[in-house]
Amino acid sequence: MEKFEAALRRVRERTPLVQCITNFVTVNDCANILLASGASPTMAHDIREAAEAVTGADALVCNMGAIEDTDAMILAGKQANRLGKPVILDPVAAGGTALRRESAGRLLSEIHFAVIRGNASEIRGLAGETAAGSGVDAGVLDVVTEENLLSSLEMVRSFSQRTGSVIAVSGAIDIISDGNNAMALRGGCATMARITGSGCMLTTLIGAFCGAMPDDLYTAACAAMAAMNVCGELAEKRRLTNGTGNATFRTDLIDAVFNLTEQQLTEGVRYEIY
């Protein structure tokens, strides 16, 4: 898709600075996938400087894995809203505990998010549906399938209309909507669920694309998801060829983003518009 190529080009031309308030489990991967994409990372999260740091950034990513930084996210997010910079939410395990439900509620009421990207359980939970996920993975009853695709698309479209945010659900089938447009993307691979940080990295990559093209957040988020899917397939191909495992896959995935060509993106992406 030409729009996705253009988005990838923009990230590399503009090298956006993406501030991430994110968890200690996958923070290194998030920084390296930003650098792989052509963007720059800053992981300033201390409440005493998080909002000030937003001034120099092109986008802000709030990852609820860093649950202890919720207050810093709110200060920084409000500042980003004031300055018109896109804020992206990753509602990690948002329905998992009382603390997370409360934090998610506060974040959604205090900050306007450009994009919210989660797994099916996390997004269904935020949207008010009953969700079955435990821990950081989506529950089997929640995931988007061929069977529930249309109703799932309706869910994200409606949640997007209520929030004014682009809503993205990642999984074997990804779905995304800005309240009006909607798209399903296929691709990636099952090994992505066998490394920690696939979701965090995807959200961070959405931050890079949104930071580079804040004028078209829906295309930015779609392009980032497309890039992740294509890179997941490229890395999986290497894993199958070389007989390696999940750790090498993680490295290959980031490498694939580093080396991703516009042609690979266009030829590799599979999507349907709804």
Helix (H, G, I), strand (E, B) or coil at 104: helix
| Pairing state between β 87-90 and 115-119 | parallel
Rounded least distance, CB 204 to a copy of itself, Å: 12
Tell me whether residue 10 or residue 100 sits nearer to a copy of itself (CB atom). 100
CA distances from 173 to 46, 148, 203, 252, 272 (A): 36, 11, 16, 22, 11
Segment interacting with a copy of itself (CB under 8 A) among 48-56, 182-190, 205-213, 266-274: 48-56
The 180-219 contact track toward a copy of itself, x by CB under 8 A, reads --------------xxxx----------------------
Instruction: Return the structure tokens found at 98.
Output: 């009382």
End-to-end CA distance of the chain: 16
Minimum distance, C-beta of residue 97 to a copy of itself, in the bound complex (Å): 4
259, 266, 262, 178: which is closest to 218 by C-alpha? 178
Instruction: By CB under 8 A, tell whether 67 contacts a copy of itself.
Output: yes
Q: Which of residues 118-157 bind a copy of itself (CB under 8 A)?
A: 134-137
The interface with a copy of itself within residues 232-271 (CB under 8 A) comprises 243-248, 250-259
Number of residues that bind a copy of itself (CB under 8 A): 57
- 172 binds a copy of itself, rule: CB under 8 A: no
Regarding 31 and contact with a copy of itself (CB under 8 A), the answer is yes
Nearest distance in Å: CB 181, a copy of itself: 32
DSSP 21-70: E--TTTHHHHHHHHHHHT-EEE----TTTHHHHHTT-SEEEEETT-GGGH
Minimum distance between the CB of residue 273 and a copy of itself, rounded to whole angstroms? 31
Give the nearer residue to a copy of itself in terms of CB position, either 84 or 135.
135
Query: What's the min distance (Å) between Cβ of 267 and a copy of itself?
Result: 18
Considering the rule CB under 8 A, would residue 97 count as an interface residue with a copy of itself? yes
Residue 218 CB, shortest distance to a copy of itself, in Å, is: 27
Sign of the four-CA dihedral 189, 65, 34, 196 = negative
Residue by residue, DSSP assigns 130-155 as ----BTTBPPTTTS--TTTHHHHHHH
Edge to edge, what strands does the sheet with 270-273 contain?
40-42, 17-21, 59-63, 87-90, 115-119, 166-170, 173-177, 182-186, 270-273
Q: Which is nearer to a copy of itself, 135 or 273 (CB)?
A: 135
Which lies closer to a copy of itself via its Cβ, residue 48 or residue 273?
48
Please report which helix (H) or strand (E) contains residue 167, including its range: strand 166-170
Residues that bind a copy of itself (CB under 8 A): 17, 23-29, 31-32, 35-36, 40-44, 46, 48-49, 52-53, 56-57, 65, 67-68, 93, 96-100, 134-137, 194-197, 243-248, 250-259
